[in-house]
Structure 1
Amino acid sequence: ADQAPEERTRLPKDAVDGVIAGWVGQAFNAPNIARVAALRAGLPEKSQAVTVQNNCVSSIEAVSAAARFILAGEGELYLACGTESMSRLPYTIDGTRSAKALRSLAVVKEKWSELATSPDVAVLDSIEQGLTDPVAGINMAGCAEVSAQMHGVTREAQDEYARESFRRAVAGWNAGFYASHVVPVTEGGAALLAKDEYPFLREDLIDKPKMFAKAGAFYDNAAYPLSDFYRDFGRHVVGKEYREGDKGTVTLFNSCGRSDGASAVIVATENKAKELGLEILAELKGWGYYGNNPAHMGVAPALAAPVALKRAGVAFEDLDLIELHEPFAATVLAIFKFGREQFGHDWEAKNASGALNP
């Protein structure tokens, strides 16, 4: 991903002052992946390299961080990138190395079959751990259900939104929209993966929307009914209590997939861009971040939007294009409702007009 913008713009490597990388599931085999990427891309050894982590907005944080470095006078041109490889997130062994079962790698291998029952060791799934907030004690899918219950977002509305999102993604690929800014994953000159395969795994849902109904609700099934969800997490559902007959809404089909990928963009001063003959695609006018209750993380973009808009001196209604994170249809539709109620921002109209995630 770092090399693609360099090659397409013929950017001289010595013009890059640094790399800022956003990465959520950081691994020990590439500590500070920004540094690893910079060196493997052939950038100058002297270049800065910083890896940032801010959960789902880590890539946006990388862009903001690059701008901050520039504003602080530390450089004029940075590569801001993001990466994730959820398929490689490991199962982990948690415990102190002073425990007998963990005192060396040789002992771990020798006692492998006993680790799961050891009182001093926990064998964990890092994906589930990473997607569960340690403060609120609820995972991201649970947060989506909280959003749906609080803001009255029906399953039918979520399924409809998810279908349209899949349709737009597949249509974009088929129309060649992504060809200009997606590069294949290659090895030894051969393409291992030429395009994002996930949207095409959902093509049947686009053509046969009734299939959405076949997906079971995460928090409303025989093993875990919605009443149990309210028992465990109802404290987060502000302003509503469980009523007999209420339904769970979040499913596999109206949620995002777990995926791998990387991206990069050049962030530079206007003068530096012109000096290097780079095409200026956009001007960064401002940004805004807003922390809220972790259980209500789904509506955070609605809270951050007025901060960014105020700093940029732009009105919501004047926005021609909005790229909105889509982790769950439930959270997106909750943003539509919450944003309009709290700030008068008509997200739904932007979506209907094609200005949002076209």
Structure 2
Amino acid sequence: MEKYDVYQWLNSTHRAFESLSSQELHILFAMSQDKWCVRKTAVLSQRLCLAKSTVNYHLRRLEALSNPLTTAIPCTPKIGLARYALYLEPLKPVDELLDTIGSKPFLQSLTASTDSHIVATFAVPTTQASWLFSFLDYLEINGAVRKPTAYLVDDTTPVFPDPKWYSAYLKTWKSGLDGFLEDVTKLEDWVRTRMDYSTVTIPDRLDLEIIQQLELNGRVSSMGIASKIGVTLSCASRRVSQVLEGGLIGRFTIRVLPFSLNQSDLFDTRILLVKNSHKEPLTKKISSHPFILSVCHGITTPLVIIRAQVPWWGRLHYLRLLERLVEAGLARSVKNECIIPSTIRNFTICPKFFMDNEWKTPDCVT
């Protein structure tokens, strides 16, 4: 299980955002919309109607500003994993509990909020989810947490702000967000979208090692992957293409933050909707908002989980947006956790737990 220093990245990426040109904003937005734009310059060039040399120039500059520029998000159902979002109320010191949870396999992300709650995401073997619930029972029985909550959720969809909201020339955010408050409740007008999991590719250990490398750096070269996992360049190139074409990678996160950490807050927001059918229309609409970093859905519950970075000047606007969902009768409840950036930890999948073509959980949960 590998992790990277998210806090260091958070501190540096806003400076990168402030230096972006209009063309670079559109390049990053295109990369956030289409995974092929991340790995194939020709696709990105064609989509933006730019010369390859121009795209390559900007990509080199972007990678100098934020390295890695992108990280992959695995399509967990296709690799035999199920994602659970956990919300824990610690009864022991938060740092101690963070270390305990952080040492467990199948962990994807971990952080603490300002009110001392812990938010974690696990991607556990689909047929062995009982391992995770045994671990939660262990924490509760031993007085480490109170009434842990777990939601079965789909993969995170990362969001990069649409360039229409930002003037790269003036380095300012454009007005017009107020109209968003009125429009967000008209969900029936939005077309529902759904990711297709019908074609399932059975991964092997090599696929998972490639996915792990792409989670660390989405634009790592095939040569870089070959040297890391000990295969030939031709094998790495072929298998990377197979991983992408087989849908084992869902999307790529753009590692550039739109706002300064010193002048913004990070929120984990849970919206429990009245209708299950409103999950995807709400996601489609709210994903166009410049404060949103990522969105995921509850699979068995009408839940939308949002990760947002809200500048101080937009805090009232964001909170009002959430209130509107309740007032309009779309949401039963909204819970907002303000995240402590220094506690954020992200982890990659761990191929060592994939043996004999299946995932294995440890015998002991403690």
Is the shorter-chain TM-score for this pair beyond 0.5, marking a shared fold?
no
The structure with higher relative contact order (CA 8 Å, sep 6+) is 2
TM-score, with length taken from structure 1? 0.26
Rg larger for: 1
